[in-house]
Structure 1
Amino acid sequence: MFLGFLQLRSPSFNFCVSVFVFISLPISFVSQTITEAAATYMHHDCLNAITTPDTTYRFNLNHLLAYLSSNATRTTGFYNATASSGTSEDTVYGMFLCRGDLPADACHDCVSGATKDLVQRCPEKQGAVGYYEECTLRYSSRYIFSSSAVDPSSFISGNKSISEATRLGELLRATFSELASGISDLGPGAKKFGTKETRFTASRTVYTLVQCTPDLTGFDCNRCLRIAMSYLPDCCGGKESASVLFPSCTVRYDVHPFYLSVNASGARPTPLVPPPPGKSRISSLTIIAIVASISVSVVLFAIGYCFLSKRAKTKYIQEENGKESGAPDNITTVDSLQFSFATIEAATEGFSANNKLGEGGFGAVYVEGVQYSNGLLKYVARVHLLMDNELL
């Protein structure tokens, strides 16, 4: 029905509508793509009691998630917050932790996507924890700050096995212990994140990563990491890649690069290897700016085209109406302004007072007659100058 309606319009109208539809499609597609690609899903757990969308708790949760998303540009990559209506039953606690090597815009993209994704995966739960490639998001009706949490735990491993599994296990224990000790020396509030590359064979390197939430003490961080390390042999022994995911800490390794290298000066990290084809690291803000610039240009062109088309059409209609009414052409010669006395006398009905409009220093002004055009009455006035009863 909608397309049939458009076909009844003029070609210029169809063009204008088509342009705006054409613009809206890529913007919608880009927005959807960014939302889907910003947070690369790994695993999630739904927690606590069931809630309904119309409760005060759910209202507070929505505000909390929006607030967390708006604060995801912080350089620390970590933030926690509380939303409450004044009662403990309606209070919700939440936090996010971005992978420590990522820049602020990548952190924001992940948190923004995760806050939308996780509530859809746990639509009726008061609590949830979501693990994504770039960040972790967690919320609960229970207090979750400054305490180590190893439950619920999640284990993810690759499908391929590696030769010399025993030697790999020994290498991982030594590397993870070194990393855990290093970040455990940091106090509460510091970014607790560490990575290390270790040569396994002449052609293969093992990449390792550990991270804790900054609100933990060094002791709690170290304890959380060592519990996670203890799970690796049973869940993922001999695999090319594995991750142990706790709400408060993460242990992960892979024989392929999966994080950005961070130098000692603290400068912006650079990729270990170029990203694979088709996986650009251009931020969503850059993509939106490009699409918006192109869209604005096309909109301005469409508006200009529609305006000029409408004005040309209006002028054409006016010209056609003029032809149909038989209106005389504009007077362009001096001879056409000259009339005989008899013609003027007949036109003014013998200079009748009923046709007299007024009188000035040079004579009187009379209505020459009336015309009808398209049912509309038009008065045609002529100025006749009379001086001593003679026509000038």
Structure 2
Amino acid sequence: MATPSFHVSMTLVILTLLSLNKEVSTTTYQIAYSCSNTLTFTPNSTYQSNLYQLLSFLSTNATREDGFYNTTVGQNASNLVYGLFLCRGDLTTQNCQECVATATQDVINQCPIEKEAVIWYEECMIRYSDQSFFSTLNTMLKIYVPSRKNISDPDQFYKLLMLTMNESVSQVANASTGAKKFATKEANFMGSQILYTLEQCTPDISNSDCIICIRDAISVLPICCSGLQGARVLLPSCRIRYEIYPFYRMLNARTSPPMPAIIPPPPPGKRSILLLTIIPIVALISVSAVLFIMIYYFLCRRARKEYNAIHKENGSLQFDFATVEAATAKFSDDNKLGAGGFGEVYKGTLPNKQEVAVKRLSKRSGQGEGEFKNEIELVAKLHHKNLVRLLGFCLEGEEKILIYEFVPNKSLDYFLYDPQRQGQLDWSKRYKIIKGIARGILYLHEDSRLRIIHRDLKSSNVLLDGDMNPKISDFGLAKLFETDQTRGHTRRIAGTLGYMPPEYAIRGQFSVKSDVYSFGVLILEILSGNKINSFYQSDGGRNLLSYAWKHWSDGTPLELLDLTLRDSYSAKEFMKCLQIGLLCVQEDPARRPTIASIVLMLNKSRSVIFPSLQQPAYCSGTHQNMPLESVNETPMTDVSPR
């Protein structure tokens, strides 16, 4: 009599564990979001009212069987809002509704005043804009989220991955009108290991556009995720994902159990022996099944916790606090490299013996979580010899930490303004630094796949490597532009006075010419060996700009030259740099050169014909209300980057 009750109890345990595992797999997790912070609406405006109404419509229509819905709210072109949601093709209507309801709440927090936004979850995606995007392919925005774990035999795995994903493309794209453009596929890899893949397009785009989108997403994998066990690539019009564990409902799996084998009755006299044999076997099988399911459940839970911890802040770059603390000897003063407005910087050594610079943000600093995330998202995508390389980050409790490559010679201001160290920067080094900074800015503005405005270029944010090559650092205030965008506006000014152009400091307008202005100030500091705010009336000017302009106008430009350079400078290169510096700080942004033309000027060996110079900004009475003598090197708070 003990055996039947044992079997029932095992069944209850199995069902309970299965239900627990189901709860884990259907929890809503945000993966990424994007919002254009240059296209904003006024709070309490008609557009905001229409947006909230649109989000409400999306949420209430999330029970649709096809998992997709698009609609428009508004009466005229100035306040129309277009929006849609798309749920993963394997979801139940209940799971879809839960995800869309969560997304419509979260997107307002992530993008509170932006007219355009898209937010991705594991289970769904919502998107809205003030411009119609229905039935229109969008492959401009791509977000990839790689796994942290490597795969064994990456070459064979990559071949299998490409083959499996490409086989599913036509299945996704050729879905009939009104059906889901969704497919999953499995393939065996190295015995018992299975590759799971998923592809999906928004149903409103054409079959040919769906093929283009999926193939575009697949083309990202060799760049971002080669040799890794899993990855996601997210676009507004499609998404793909692969893993070596099941992450979707097995729609193609058998739903009915196989027919049991017919066992002939035992011969007379052997019934009791057979029962004694069968009962332990059944018990052993039941226990094994329970153990297997428990192990599977806990592995899933651990994987989900790992996923949640990693993808909150940008995947494989995350370090735990214990590792960072050990690397810096618990942030000892002996390892301290310096301090700035946002916190302190320490030298550290990772377990693999790699030296790093650890930027520990102050709990009272102006850089909040928004700027912190901004710096991670931007710098992780940038690779140039004149930009400092971000290796990782740590976000635990109140700790916000950035881990950079170690640059041994500290920052430009460490040498430039110290009478004991100025001599180490001879003319050839200074000219190389000017050219290197220009190349780094050119990469940010034009040559990277993003267009980035740094907004805080200054001498302390230019690091020097072992060969005195410059590396631009500190992207906490940077702004991301669309490739065809030329300028933006913010109500909250951030940066360092003295390096800010007047249109930004006064009206909050910024553009690529904002960085050009800051670069001009840097050039004049490098030529003179003086800070922007180190002048007095007795020097013939209110600040370095007016001082430089006075000597240029008086025909005595060499009076600006750092005394330590008098025996090493090149007169032709000095005059070229001085004219470029004065051009960069022109009050009218239109009169400032582009960074591309500056790089060309610096690299030309022959004489360059310069446009006529006008009085720089802050030299006339126009901006007398902004005295640069009272510069505060601590950046002001800016919460606008997201």
TM-score (norm 2): 0.36
Match of 1:276 in 2: 297
Show CA shifts across 1:3-42 (max 9, x none).
Answer: xxxxxxxxxxxxxxxxxxxxxxxxxxxxxxx9xx953110
Q: What residue identity is the alignment partner of 2:109? A: Q
Q: Distance in 1 between matches of 2:33 and 2:136?
A: 20
Show CA shifts across 1:171-222 (max 9, x none).
Answer: 1111111100112222442211000111111121110000001111111111
- Indicate which of 60, 77, 94 corresponds to 2:50: 60
- Indicate which of 245, 256, 273 corresponds to 2:234: 245
1:180–1:225: 8 Å Cα contact kept in structure 2? yes
1:187–1:218: 8 Å Cα contact kept in structure 2? no
Show CA shifts across 1:239-276 (max 9, x none).
Answer: 11101100110111001111001138999xxxxx8983
Match of 2:548 in 1: none
Match of 2:147 in 1: 158
Measured at CA, do residues 155 and 87 of structure 1 come closer, stay the same or move farther in structure 2, by a change above 3 Å?
same
- Indicate which of 148, 158, 177 corresponds to 2:137: 148
Give, in angstroms, the shift of residue 144 of structure 1.
1.1
Q: Distance in 2 between matches of 1:188 and 1:130?
A: 25
Match of 2:68 in 1: 78
Superposition pairs of residues 254-293 of structure 1, within 5 angstroms = 254-263=243-252, 276=297
Number of residue pairs aligned between Structure 1 and Structure 2: 238
Bigger fraction of residues in strand: 1
SS of residue matched to 2:39: strand
Give, in angstroms, the shift of residue 121 of structure 1.
0.3
Match of 1:383 in 2: none
SS of residue matched to 2:95: helix
Measured at CA, do residues 131 and 181 of structure 1 come closer, stay the same or move farther in structure 2, by a change above 3 Å?
same
Show CA shifts across 1:133-163 (max 9, x none).
Answer: 1001111111110111113210001101112
Match of 1:344 in 2: none
Q: Distance in 1 between matches of 2:85 and 2:139?
A: 16
User: Greater relative contact order: 1 or 2 (C-alpha under 8 angstroms, separation 6 or more)?
Assistant: 1
Q: What residue identity is the alignment partner of 2:231? A: A
Matched, 1:113 2:102: yes
Q: Distance in 2 between matches of 1:203 and 1:264?
A: 17
Q: Which has the larger radius of gyration?
A: 1
Give, in angstroms, the shift of residue 168 of structure 1.
1.2
1:38–1:113: 8 Å Cα contact kept in structure 2? no
Q: What residue identity is the alignment partner of 2:230? A: S
Match of 2:174 in 1: 185
Match of 1:211 in 2: 200
Match of 2:125 in 1: 136
TM-score (norm 1): 0.58
1:114–1:137: 8 Å Cα contact kept in structure 2? yes
Q: Distance in 2 between matches of 1:260 and 1:152?
A: 28
1:39–1:111: 8 Å Cα contact kept in structure 2? no
Matched, 1:231 2:214: no
Match of 2:40 in 1: 50
SS of residue matched to 2:34: strand
Gaps of 5+ in 2: 1-22, 257-292, 302-642
Show CA shifts across 1:50-96 (max 9, x none).
Answer: 11321111100000000100000011000001000x21110000000
1:188–1:218: 8 Å Cα contact kept in structure 2? no
Q: Distance in 1 between matches of 2:219 and 2:139?
A: 12
Match of 1:325 in 2: none
Q: Distance in 2 between matches of 1:56 and 1:169?
A: 50
SS of residue matched to 1:221: helix
